Amino acid sequence: MVEVEAQADLLFKDVAGYLKADDVSRLQSAYHFSEAAHHGQFRKSGEPYISHPLAVAKILAQWHLDPQALTAALLHDVMEDTAVTKDEIATTFGRPVADLVDGVSKIDAIEFQTKEDFQAENFRKMLLAMARDVRVILIKLADRLHNMRTMQAMDAERRRRIARETLDIYAPIANRLGLNAIYQELQDLSFRYLHPTRHRVLAKALKTSRGNRREVVGKVLDAIVARLKEAGVEATVTGREKHLYSIYNKMLEKQLSFAQVQDIYGFRVIVRDVNACYIALGLLHGLYKPIPGKFKDYIAIPKANGYQSLHSTLFGPFGMPLEMQIRTHEMHKIAEAGVASHWLYKSTDSELTELHRKTHQWLQSLLELQSTSGNAVEFLEHLKVDLFPDEVYVFTPKGRIMALPRGATAVDFAYFVHTDIGNRAIAVKINDELMPLRTELRNGDRVEIITAVQARPNPAWLNFVTTARARSQIRHFLKTMQLTESVQLGERLLTQALATLKTSPSDIDETGWDKLLRDCGLKTRRDLHADIGLGKRLAAVIAARLLQLAGDGAATPRIAGTIMIRGTEGMAAQLARCCNPIPGDAVIGLVSKGQGIVIHTQDCAVIRRNRHESDRWVDVQWDDKTRRAFGVNIRLSVANERGVLAQVAGAIADAGSNIDNVNVDQADSSAYSTINFTIQVSNRFHLAQVMRRLRRIPEVVRIARVKGTQRERE
């Protein structure tokens, strides 16, 4: 305990340098409260448990965090590991401290199906608390950093699990918040526990290399200092070694041996102002030749986490690459402390203001992800995508710079601007040229999204979008639309099923409905209708059960009216791709789980295969008011004459139809070819008109409509 007391005294001495005496006194009270709560508890290493909260508070004190955050750090495990409640903390130390402690604490009261669900829900809780108050994640990062520093006492399996979690979630969050020092230390510690042998071998190789290159690095350092001094540029120049995990990653990505990784050393030049940064860059380029394509200006276009510097790689002595970072003192503070610089440096610099704005923007995006993600695991999946480290910078039509993850598409950009822009996007202009929405954006692109009021997201977008925001908003829209359409369809199906039993929904009293909902484990009729519309429950079975519960199970069935369809019902009623039905075709609906009703032609092979499942069939009929175009496939055998394709295309256009797709198959005989068209028609009568026009062409020797693997001769 003597060592713990000394640790506590050191903490109070540190904070006394920037906190008021009353704040230090309250902090001491929090320490004694936490010590009493954790009395008799020990860490795996054998140390008293209170040593951990003290270490976490000490890390935060280095950032000059406020008294509330330091108090929460000392208490951050009491709710989780002791009998102390949130209300007790709120009564003793105030509601803000209690909220911070609660944000960091794990969820223990809920039972989860899997460990992954439990972890995902904990992350979601913590990150949503962080979105309200960034100090939550600062405490959690300090907590994780100390745990990683002291993991030796744990078993190997647990060390690996925690290290993987740290590398996947906590290190990227530290990077996203601009906490560079913590980011790199968490990566190196994770690497050490995930791959202990590789870490040990690399560390040894780096130590040997350091001795071999010390003289060269010293000469380079002296040359840089002398060149800057000669030009009258005041600068602090330091040499730095790349972190082990960074070296390991480069070896992995580029399939290099350690001996081939030459840019292990870098140099940092810290100058007075922005102008001096560019002057220093020119001087260094005059001293050593720059490597083409290895220059990045993060001053003009800062990273999303607020980081600013000039980066350039130069050819040093003996061909050794030298990585240069040039920045101002203010930029250096932000690069090291990130969002914590708000507390560490009481400054009104525009750089800090911009950093806070970007951080706030990202935290708000977490709240949006939460509202559109279906569950905690999906939220965590989106978050991992959002923590993508590399960025591409593009411009809006008004010249505003926007940072997106590398690989982002025009659709990602649209959702980044605004959810409504994404939902209504129909095309994009990149650098004033019309391009597909799936086009991958590059640095410097000027992007303009074209929208339409009636447009809506395409499910195929999920195959190429890269940002969490776009993915979650598309999924949210599709789920909402599918639910709405499924509810409407399910209600119609149930009404039809009840009609076959000579009753209607209004004839069933509330008691019958309540019993049915309880039996199905549902809360509302809307939920029931949605399940029926999505094919999860069969309307005929639900109708029979409903009458049974209502005490009217002996009703005599009769034939009900059919459901009218227009082909525009959306996701709840889909047209089968196997037979491509169009108005005028005899059709039937097949209830498919998760898809709702799929409309087939009555002679479709799928219907024949499912003839024994008649309870899944639904009578449907085309609505006379149907006003849309339907895709249909036709196959033509034509004589190989010059201009025949143009004649066929002209005839299709004259009949008022559009061509969606065309391809030509060479027939066995060189005298004839087969042409396959996908055309747009409004109904079966319109298709017949198109075919009649095509038959008038002398070179057309055969024509057929193609339904999947079938042909319907006209």
Count Cβ neighbours within 10 Å for each residue of 383-393 and write b for 16 or more, e otherwise.
bebbbbeebbb
With residue 288 as reference, give the H or E element that holds it.
Answer: none
Q: Measure the CA–CA gap between 435 and 442, rounded to whole angstroms.
A: 13
Cα dihedral 254/255/261/265 (nearest 10) = 50
The better pLDDT of the pair 214, 518 is held by 518
Query: Which residues have CB under 8 Å from 667's CB, separation 6+?
Result: 637, 673, 674
- Domain extents in the chain: 2-194, 201-345, 390-458, 475-622, 630-713
Three-class secondary structure of residue 564 per DSSP: strand
**pLDDT (tens digit per residue) in 328-355:** 988 888 777 666 655 554 444 444 455 5
Per-residue pLDDT at 253? 74
The answer to whether 276 and 233 have CB atoms below 8 angstroms apart is yes
Q: Is residue 261's pLDDT more than 60?
A: yes
What is the CATH architecture of 201-345?
Answer: 2-Layer Sandwich (3.30)
Burial of 532: CB neighbours in 10 Å, binned 0-12, 13-18, 19+: buried
Q: Is residue 554's pLDDT more than 50?
A: no
Which CATH number applies to 630-713? 3.30.70.260
Least confident stretch, 8-12, 269-273, 697-701? 8-12
Look at residues 593, 594, 595 and name the one whose alpha carbon lies nearest to residue 575: 595
What does the angle CA 331 – CA 329 – CA 264 come to, to the nearest 5 degrees? 75
The better pLDDT of the pair 617, 657 is held by 657
Residue 457: both structure tokens together: 């997201």
The answer to whether 285 and 314 have CB atoms below 8 angstroms apart is yes
Look at residues 467, 291, 286 and name the one whose alpha carbon lies nearest to residue 394: 467
Per-residue pLDDT at 358? 61
The answer to whether 590 and 551 have CB atoms below 8 angstroms apart is no
The answer to whether 700 and 694 have CB atoms below 8 angstroms apart is yes
Q: Measure the CA–CA gap between 285 and 312, rounded to whole angstroms.
A: 9
With residue 348 as reference, give the H or E element that holds it.
Answer: none
**pLDDT (tens digit per residue) in 211-250:** 666 677 788 888 999 999 988 989 989 887 778 888 888 7
Residue 663: both structure tokens together: 């391809």
Q: Report pTM.
A: 0.55
What does the angle CA 24 – CA 30 – CA 31 come to, to the nearest 5 degrees? 90
Catalytic residue among 23, 66, 81, 88: 81
- Fold agreement between 2-194 and 201-345: no
485: amino acid identity, one letter: E
User: How does the average pLDDT of the chain come out, rounded?
Assistant: 79
Catalytic residue among 23, 47, 66, 80: 80
User: Does the 2-194 domain belong in CATH 3.40.50.1700?
Assistant: no
Three-class secondary structure of residue 136 per DSSP: helix
Most confident of 398-412, 416-430, 459-473: 416-430
What is the CATH architecture of 390-458?
Answer: Roll (3.10)
Q: Measure the CA–CA gap between 669 and 154, rounded to whole angstroms.
A: 76
Is 81 one of the catalytic residues? yes
Is 623 one of the catalytic residues? no
